[in-house]
Structure 1
Amino acid sequence: MSQRNVIRVSELAIAISLFEVGSTTLFFIGGEAKQDAWLAMLVGALAGLFLLLMHLSIHHQEPHLDLFLLFRRYMGKYVGTFVNLLFVGYFSYESSRNLRDFGEITVMTLLNRTSLWIIMLIVILVVSNSMRYGHIVMFRICVIFFPIMLVSYILISILIPVTGLFHFEFMLPVLESGWKPVLDAALPEIVSFPFGQTILFLVFYPHVRTGKGLNKAVITCYVITALALTFINQLNIFVLGPKIALYSTLPLLETVQLIDLAEVFERMDALFTMLLFLGLGVKMGAFFNGAIIGLEKITGIAYKKWVVPVAILIYGLAFLSPNYTHHIVIGRQLVLNYLFPVFQIVLPLLLFIIILIRKRKKRTNRSASEKT
């Protein structure tokens, strides 16, 4: 592997953090649990942490193989190739959803007289141009975006309480209806989005500079990001209350629009919209990259030759929903609960079990041959 394509552990940690933030702040996650959304987020994050530990364990079993090569080796040429094609489709669809979100937000907040297809065409062209240079460019872009997003979200989190918008009483009573609404909200929806999406990084782990700090860095950044997302998500409750937050189209944007401090900090919604664009761009690019790498591994055709076909596929998939309401309903009620868990839980768990069985069988055979 060329040193130019090696990812530093710090770059990986930053990319995972921005990827997790991605489009998460666009929605009110765990709204069905009302004021207990923070508990639903923590339950979902804990379940996602177990998935992440499984991903890392899979990686350490075969540190030089990525997600696609792992399925090919342990499930055979034909079944493995079929599963790999499914993952390419999954990554492409995830990327297309981010593209549609990007276009819809732009229409709603900035360019309400511009056609959706034009906005999404411009976005896919920009992202495709970045993807031509491979995964290393995406990780370096994350390093550039990270301080901007970190400072901006910290600023928003400070200004909301300072301006008197913070109402802690909206969070009470805790567990008013027991644990059932919390668990229903967390499993599998919050696991599927955003925490289970870390399955993508099995594509990139083999490119990380070898060292003992990988597990520590990945787990640490995951935990910190999960806690930060839980707090940011709960800001919707603290400001809008559970009922308004649940039925709001862009709850955190509405929350940020209320910030007005001494005629200095105004129009913070412009800052938040920029953060959404950066997060959506990172997430879209990461899934885009994963789909291209998958096709390269499946077909043996060079990475750059797949950029345009995958871009066309993503652009086309972004128009599957006739309107934004349909897009959200399909995303939040159907694919999160029934489709995504197959790729985030079922297939990785099946791979993990097969790897353990094969490794154990291999050790048993080796022990038997040594005795004879």
Structure 2
Amino acid sequence: MSKLTPKLSDLVVTFVLFEVGSTTLFLLGGKAKQDAWLVMLIGAIFGFMLVLLYLWIHRLDRSRDLFELLFYYLETLPGRIIGGLYVCYFLYEASRNLRDLGELTVLTLLNRTPIAFVMLVAIVVISNTVRYGAEVLMQTCTALFPITVAGYALLLSLIAAAGMIHMENMLPILENGWKPVWDNAFPEVVSFPFGQTVLFLVLFKITEHSSGFSKAIIWAYSIVSFVLILLNQISILVLGPELASNFTLPLLETVQLIRFPQILERMDALFALILYLGLGIKIAAFFIASVTGLHRITTIKYKLLIIPAAAVIYASSFLSPRYVEYVWAGLNLTVVWISPVFQIILPLMLLTVMLLRKEKRSQTSQSTGAERPNRI
């Protein structure tokens, strides 16, 4: 892996692009109709609490990443077992994003190209990035960040300029009360995308630290959460709550409606481009985390694990033959039953053990100090 030390700004940019990632592909909280923005807001608030949890864990021991923390505080065998489960989780999440990338490519640009070939090319390219480690990925994100920001800003400006936004689609607020809002927010929206920041417990360690480390992450999370709420609600404001909730990729449908005759007529290509960047970054981040975990568990050299991990990611992306089934499994099984274990339960368990061991060491130190005789 690279020996470069990323700046805090590189980590913040990577954090933002990772959070955006594939999130804009889907309508989150769609079952709550026009109240999807409230679903996202509640999800972001719970996600903020998870970010504080991860920062707390990191602050207690900045010298170790997630896997090293598991090995050290939960003992070797339990730590390796849980670490292995995290590796499987990261590999699976990478495979889901790879499938999203393949489906998006076939749908928007290469409709005559087999999806298997598209995803094969993608995983080969991403594997080359992973070969250089997280440090290079972070610096790449810094270079790509202006393109992503400019792309989304342009799309939002064109949607507004085309007169496609209808604010009345947000009304009535809470037509069916809070229950559908809460039911959609937890655990679905908390798990995806906000809880996926658990991955950064692997990346925090390698970044330059300063007094403003936690503050920078918190500000980045707050800003990107606001942007995601806005982008999620745009589909409802343009298409209406009923229509938006019935589309598999509603924001793509929204972008395809942008028409400025003889000037701009294919903005879906721009949307696909910035989505490729987000998906590629997210796949690479999960990929790097999984290979790092395998390296910690097996002590096999990092680069030797890239090809086997890539093969598992590629094969796992075909778990469901149809994309609709794949989306359903992700939004109804993964984020409800699997993700909360890795994003909430296990980090809370790790934090508890770390605090108990810290308290035990403190008491032992005080006891030893009290028993030591005074020297004259």
Question: TM (normalized to structure 2)?
Answer: 0.97
Q: Quick one: which amino acid aligns to residue 300 of structure 1?
A: T
Partner of 2:105: 106
Of residues 253-262 and 237-246 in structure 1, the stretch that sits farther from structure 2 once superposed is 253-262
Alignment correspondent of 1:221: 220
**Paired residues, what number?**
371
Q: Tell me if structure 2 keeps the 8 A contact 1:9–1:213.
A: no
Which residue in 2 is equivalent to 1:184?
A: 183
* Aligned-residue offset at 1:25: 0.3
For 1:199, the equivalent position in structure 2 comes to 198
Query: What is the letter of the counterpart of residue 238 of structure 1?
Result: L
The SS at the match of 1:284 is helix
Where structure 1 has 5 or more consecutive residues not aligned to the other structure, the ranges are none
1:265 deviates by 3.0
For 2:282, give the aligned amino acid: K
Cα deviation, 1:150-169, whole Å, max 9, x if unaligned, reads: 01111111221211101000
Aligned structure 1 segments of 4 or more residues deviating by more than 4 angstroms = none
The CA distance in 2 between the partners of 1:306 and 1:312, in whole Å, is 10
Q: What is the deviation of 1:262?
A: 5.7
Which residue of 2 is the match for residue 71 of structure 1? 70
Give the aligned residue type for 1:326.
E
- The amino acid across from 1:29 in the alignment is L
Query: What pairs up with 1:2-13 in 2 under 5 angstroms?
Result: 4-13=3-12
Structure 1 match to 2:120: 121
Aligned position for 2:83:
84
**Equivalent-residue separation in structure 2 for 1:152 and 1:133 (angstroms):** 27
Shift of 1:361: 1.6
1:290 corresponds to: 289
Distance in structure 2 (CA, Å) of the matches to 1:150 and 1:262 = 25
Give the SS at the match of 1:55: helix
Give the Cα separation in 2 of the matches to 1:45 and 1:62. 26
1:278-298 per-residue CA deviation (whole Å, 9 max, x = no partner) reads: 111010000000001111111
Equivalent-residue separation in structure 2 for 1:7 and 1:89 (angstroms) = 26
Q: Is 1:242 the equivalent of 2:241?
A: yes
Question: Does structure 1 retain, via aligned residues, the 8 Å contact 2:108–2:268?
Answer: no
Who is 1:277 aligned against?
276
Quote the residue 1:327 is aligned against: 326
1:232 is aligned to: 231
Q: Where do 1:18-29 residues align within 5 Å? A: 18-29=17-28
| Alpha-carbon distance in structure 1 between the residues aligned to 2:239 and 2:198 | 33
User: Match of 1:170, as an amino acid?
Assistant: N
Offset from partner CA, 1:71-126 (integer Å, 9 cap, x none) = 11111110000000000000000000011111111111111221111111111111
Query: Is 1:35 paired with 2:34?
Result: yes
How large is the Cα RMSD of the aligned pairs? 1.2
Instruction: Report the alpha carbon displacement of residue 369 of structure 1 after superposing the two structures with TM.
Output: 2.2
Letter in 2 for 1:128: S
Tell me, yes or no, if the aligned pair for 1:127 and 1:285 is still in contact at 8 Å. yes
2:152 match: 153
Q: Which amino acid in the other structure matches residue 205 of structure 1?
A: F
Q: In the TM superposition, what is the alpha-carbon distance from 1:370 to its structure 2 partner?
A: 2.0
Identify the residue that residue 300 of structure 2 maps to in structure 1.
301
Inter-partner Cα distance in structure 2 for 1:34 and 1:319: 31
Are the counterparts in 2 of residues 240 and 255 from structure 1 also a CA contact under 8 Å? yes
**CA deviation profile, 1:157-197 (whole Å, cap 9, x unmatched):** 12212111010000011111111111111100001100000
- Where do 5+ consecutive residues of structure 2 fail to align? 372-376
User: Using the alignment, how far apart are the partners of 1:40 and 1:13 within structure 2?
Assistant: 25
Is the counterpart of residue 17 in structure 1 residue 16 in structure 2?
Answer: yes
What's the counterpart of residue 351 of structure 1?
350
Structure 1 distance, partners of 2:355, 2:281, is 34
Distance between the aligned counterparts of 2:213 and 2:271, measured in 1? Answer: 31
- C-alpha separation between the residues in 2 aligned to 1:240 and 1:184? 23
CA contact 1:81–1:298 (8 Å) conserved in 2: yes
Alignment partners' CA distance in 2, 1:68 and 1:197: 16
What letter matches 1:102 in structure 2?
L
Please say if residues 257 and 269 of structure 1, whose CA atoms lie closer than 8 Å, have aligned partners that are also in contact. Answer: yes
What is the CA–CA distance in structure 1 between the aligned matches of 2:286 and 2:184, rounded to whole Å?
25
Who is 2:252 aligned against? 253
Letter in 2 for 1:363: S
TM-score normalised over the length of structure 1: 0.98
Which residue of structure 2 lines up, in the alignment, with residue 163 of structure 1?
A: 162
Counterparts of 1:131 and 1:88, CA distance in 2: 15
Contact 2:20 2:228 in 1 (8 A): yes
Provide the rounded CA distance (Å) in 2 between the counterparts of 1:336 and 1:121: 26
State whether residues 288 and 310 of structure 1, in contact with CA within 8 Å, keep that contact through their aligned partners in structure 2. Answer: yes
Mapped partners of 1:261, 1:100: distance in 2? 32
Query: What do residues 33-61 of structure 1 show as CA deviations (whole Å, max 9, x unaligned)?
Result: 11010111010011011000010010010
User: Aligned to 1:29, what secondary structure does the other structure show?
Assistant: coil
CA contact (8 A) 1:35 1:242 kept: yes
SS of 1:112's equivalent in the other structure is coil
